[in-house]
Structures are given as structure tokens and as C-alpha cells.
């Protein structure tokens, strides 16, 4: 297999925000770079094959896979991530899209009578109460979205409400008043409608050529440690694992918004009526302390050891990862993958050169202008070691 390393390097250098397809509709923390994801998919898969993302986050891999005629299998422990992946990556049929547009018109009517909506204060982590009128309107919009009978339209309407809530409460100095909320809905609704209509049309054209039959998108809300037990026959068609695991010892709020950048709120789960049963460390496979390195890399090893038992021998694993301390943690990551039975592929044999990318837009380091270690991501490409696979399969099946 000839690997186009130069194409990967060019794609990795792109620092633009992704607004094509449905990528820009809701920004999940630490999203994958779509251009690099697209390049990897074309390099390692053919139309009709499956791409697996065991840490799917906001669904960038799923969007690119489906838009380019591949099946997409995803999992995440965070129910918010699973919802965002399904809502952004599942194209809407024509009837679903019409149902969404009707809801959007009704939502604008609700906002025009916002003065009659019951005010409900948003209570944050320190019990401070915020913006009762704005919060009350969001709850009314959520309830109207949940009444949609069409599942695709319902998810997309809830995603619109989620985006409106994020705009209102996530790291803003002043939550908008109802009038500004109405103007925001106009802009968000127009953008969401245009992007989803275009994305759905692209997917229909690709599917008609390549992917008939079984479901094109699968999302498992599960711990990746047990994902190999859930895949079943789906594993047979996977030729690429493309993902970005949580960054070791990098603090990231996958499950909270921060009002004024400080006070945490679980509002995204409230708007979606989902359960959020973990602290931040539960979603990042460890805390920010150095002692967390051991459990983190043991978890990485266990995830891929399990996947190695069920995936085909020619599978490629592409991962994009940043580290709090690259000099210490990068070797530990490579050792964990090796213990799991995977061999790293590098641009030049006999070297340790890797493709990396700077991420200047990282919000949690915005004031440091991209100078911290965690704003540099590395691309890792592995394949299953045939010897390790034989030993693992024999162990799995009980053969000696």
C-alpha cells in the first residue's frame, strides 16, 4: 500500500474553520479537521466500505464518510456526542426536511410572542440564576421540537435549539434578550436549512451509486472499552478506524457549557432531555494530574486490543491526538498501541518523523495564542501486526 504522506501533510496544515457540508452547524470541542479526515478516507477506503470512529465526538468522521459513499460506525460514552453525531451526519429526506421547515416557521411565531412565555431562571453550578426569559423560551422551543413525529426532523430541530442555547449561554458576557434571540433564530435557521439541504442532496447522489442495503450510519452510546462486543458482523466491513481519542491530561469540558466562561451548566443535556452521569474526567479517560497517565494509556491499550480481536487483518487505524506533555506522553501512547498489537507506519522508514498540525483556534488556550503543547496535534497511522493478531485471535477463541 502506497501511503500519500505528502497529501496528509498538506491537509494537516489547513487551519481554516470548516463550514462545508454540516460541519459548522454545531461545534463540538476538539473537532477533527474535515479536510484531513476526507484525505484519509479517500486514501484508505473505497466506496461501500465502513469507517469506524470509537470516539466520535461531534461526528466529523461520520459526516465525511457518509458524504463520500462510505458506511459510518460510531461510538461515544457521552450521550451529547452521540446526539450531535446523529443529528449532523444523518441526511434528511424530503419529507423530513419539509417537517423541519414547518417547525422553524412555528418557532419564529413562538418568539414573536415571547413576552407571554413563562420565565424560568437557569441555575448554574454555584446556584447563581441567569436569564429567566431566555431560558424559558429555549424550553418552549425544545418542547415544540420534541413534538415532531419525524425522527430526522425532530433531531435536527433539537440541534437548532441546542445551537441557539449555546449562542445564548456558552461563554457570553450578556445572555441575549428575547428580541436578539429571535434574530439569532432567523440566521441559524437559514444556515441550517441551506447546509442540510445541500448535504442531503450530496449523500443521496453518493448512496444511489455505492451504498444500498443496510443502514449507512450506526451510533452506539457506549464505553469504547466494550465496543468490540457491540460490533458483531459490522466489523467485517471496516477497513479504516479514524478517530481522535481524548487528549491525555488536557482539561476539556465535553459535557458542560460555561456561562461567562466560569460557571458551569448542564443545559445541553436539559435541552435534549439526556442523562449526564459523569464528571469531566469520565469523558477524558483521566484527570489533569500526572498520575492519570497510567490509567489513560492502559485504557487506550484495552480499547485497541479489543478492536484488534474483531477487525480484519488489513485494517488501518488513523488517529489525531495532542498531549499535555508530548515528550513524555507521545512515547507512552506509541507503546500502548504496540502492546495492543498495532504497528506504526511513518513517512520515512527508520525515523520517528510524524505529521503534526498547529491548531490556533483552540478555545481553551485562546489567550495563549496557540503556544501550549496541546495546540499541536499529531497524526498517527497504525496497522494490525499480523503476528499479534494471530496470538490475540487464538487467545480470544480459546485455541492454543
Give 141-167 pLDDT, tens digit per residue.
999 999 999 999 999 999 999 999 998
Query: Of the candidates 162, 178, 203, which is a domain's last residue?
Result: 203
**Is the pLDDT reported for residue 340 higher than 60?**
yes
Asked if the structure places residue 371 within a domain, the reply is yes
Query: Same domain, yes or no, for 225 and 361?
Result: yes
Query: Same domain, yes or no, for 68 and 28?
Result: yes
C-alpha closest to that of 89 among 42, 176, 31: 31
Local confidence band at 362 (pLDDT 50, 70, 90 cut-offs)? low
pLDDT at 367: 41
Local confidence band at 21 (pLDDT 50, 70, 90 cut-offs)? very high
Query: Of the candidates 137, 170, 203, which is a domain's last residue?
Result: 203
Structural domain that includes position 191: 94-203
Asked if the structure places residue 269 within a domain, the reply is no
**Is the pLDDT reported for residue 392 higher than 60?**
no
- Composition of the chain by helix, strand, coil, percent to 5: 50, 15, 35
Query: Same domain, yes or no, for 325 and 373?
Result: yes
Query: Same domain, yes or no, for 232 and 338?
Result: yes
Q: Say if residues 64 and 24 touch (Cβ distance below 8 Å).
A: no
108-117, 258-267, 329-338, 383-392, range with greatest mean pLDDT: 329-338
Pick the range with the lowest mean pLDDT from 176-185, 260-269, 338-347.
176-185
- SS3 state of residue 242: strand
Asked if the structure places residue 328 within a domain, the reply is yes
Q: Which helix (H) or strand (E) is 315 found in, with range?
A: none
- For the chain, the C-alpha Rg in angstroms (whole number) is 22
> Domain total for the chain?
2
- SS3 state of residue 65: helix
CATH code for the domain of 17: 3.40.50.150
Query: Same domain, yes or no, for 41 and 187?
Result: no
Query: Same domain, yes or no, for 158 and 223?
Result: no
pLDDT at 161: 96
Asked if the structure places residue 190 within a domain, the reply is yes
pLDDT at 400: 40
Asked if the structure places residue 263 within a domain, the reply is no
Asked if the structure places residue 264 within a domain, the reply is no
Q: Say if residues 34 and 60 touch (Cβ distance below 8 Å).
A: yes
Query: Same domain, yes or no, for 11 and 123?
Result: no
Please give the model's pTM, rounded to 2 decimal places: 0.91
Asked if the structure places residue 272 within a domain, the reply is no
Query: Same domain, yes or no, for 228 and 185?
Result: no
**Is the pLDDT reported for residue 361 higher than 80?**
no
Query: Same domain, yes or no, for 340 and 240?
Result: yes
Residue 134: exposure state from Cβ atoms within 10 A (0-12, 13-18, ≥19): buried
Q: Which residue has the cell 441550517?
A: 192
What's the DSSP call for residue 125? T
Query: Same domain, yes or no, for 74 and 99?
Result: no
Asked if the structure places residue 129 within a domain, the reply is yes
Share of the chain above pLDDT 70, in %: 89
- How far, rounded to the nearest angstrom, does the alpha carbon of residue 233 sit from its chain's CA centroid? 24
pLDDT at 260: 79
Query: Same domain, yes or no, for 109 and 191?
Result: yes
Q: How far, CA to CA in Å, does 64 sit from each of 23, 215, 271?
A: 9, 16, 27
**Is the pLDDT reported for residue 261 higher than 90?**
no
Query: Same domain, yes or no, for 178 and 324?
Result: no
Amino acid at each position: 500500500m502506497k501511503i500519500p504522506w505528502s497529501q496528509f501533510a498538506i491537509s494537516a496544515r489547513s487551519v481554516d474553520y470548516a463550514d462545508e457540508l454540516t460541519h459548522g452547524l454545531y461545534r463540538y470541542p476538539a473537532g477533527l479537521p474535515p479536510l484531513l479526515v476526507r484525505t484519509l478516507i479517500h486514501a484508505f477506503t473505497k466506496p461501500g466500505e465502513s469507517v469506524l470512529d470509537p470516539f466520535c465526538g461531534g461526528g466529523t468522521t461520520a459526516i465525511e464518510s457518509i458524504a463520500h459513499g462510505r458506511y459510518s460506525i460510531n461510538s461515544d460514552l457521552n450521550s451529547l456526542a452521540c446526539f450531535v453525531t446523529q443529528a449532523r451526519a444523518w441526511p434528511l429526506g424530503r419529507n423530513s426536511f419539509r417537517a423541519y421547515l414547518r417547525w422553524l416557521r412555528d418557532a419564529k411565531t413562538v418568539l414573536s410572542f415571547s413576552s407571554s412565555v413563562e420565565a424560568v431562571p437557569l441555575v448554574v453550578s454555584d446556584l447563581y440564576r441567569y436569564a429567566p426569559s431566555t431560558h424559558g423560551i429555549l424550553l418552549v422551543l425544545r418542547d415544540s421540537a420534541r413534538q415532531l413525529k419525524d425522527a430526522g426532523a425532530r433531531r435536527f430541530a433539537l440541534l437548532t435549539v441546542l445551537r441557539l442555547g449555546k449562542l445564548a449561554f456558552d461563554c457570553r458576557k450578556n445572555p441575549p434578550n428575547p428580541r436578539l434571540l429571535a434574530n439569532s433564530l432567523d440566521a441559524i435557521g437559514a444556515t441550517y436549512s441551506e447546509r442540510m439541504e445541500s448535504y442531503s442532496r450530496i449523500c443521496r447522489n453518493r448512496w444511489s451509486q455505492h451504498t444500498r442495503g443496510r443502514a449507512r450510519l450506526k451510533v452506539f452510546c457506549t464505553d469504547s472499552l466494550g465496543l468490540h462486543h457491540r460490533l458483531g458482523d459490522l466489523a467485517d466491513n471496516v477497513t479504516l478506524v479514524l478517530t481522535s481519542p481524548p487528549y491525555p491530561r488536557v482539561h476539556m469540558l465535553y459535557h458542560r457549557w460555561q456561562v461567562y466562561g466560569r460557571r458551569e451548566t448542564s443545559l445541553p443535556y436539559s435541552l435534549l432531555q439526556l442523562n449526564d452521569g459523569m464528571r469531566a474526567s469520565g469523558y477524558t479517560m483521566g484527570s489533569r494530574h500526572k498520575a492519570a497517565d497510567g490509567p489513560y494509556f492502559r485504557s487506550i491499550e484495552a480499547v485497541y486490543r479489543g478492536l484488534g480481536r474483531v477487525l480484519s487483518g488489513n485494517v488501518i487505524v488513523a488517529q489525531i491526538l495532542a498531549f499535555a506533555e508530548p515528550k513524555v506522553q507521545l512515547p507512552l501512547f506509541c507503546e500502548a498501541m504496540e502492546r495492543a498489537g498495532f504497528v506504526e507506519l511513518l513517512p520515512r522508514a527508520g525515523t520517528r518523523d510524524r505529521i503534526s498540525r498547529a491548531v490556533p483556534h483552540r478555545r481553551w488556550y485562546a489567550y495563549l495564542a496557540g503556544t501550549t503543547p496541546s495546540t499541536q496535534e499529531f497524526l498517527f497511522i497504525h496497522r494490525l501486526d499480523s503476528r499479534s493478531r494471530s496470538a490475540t485471535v487464538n487467545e480470544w477463541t480459546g485455541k492454543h
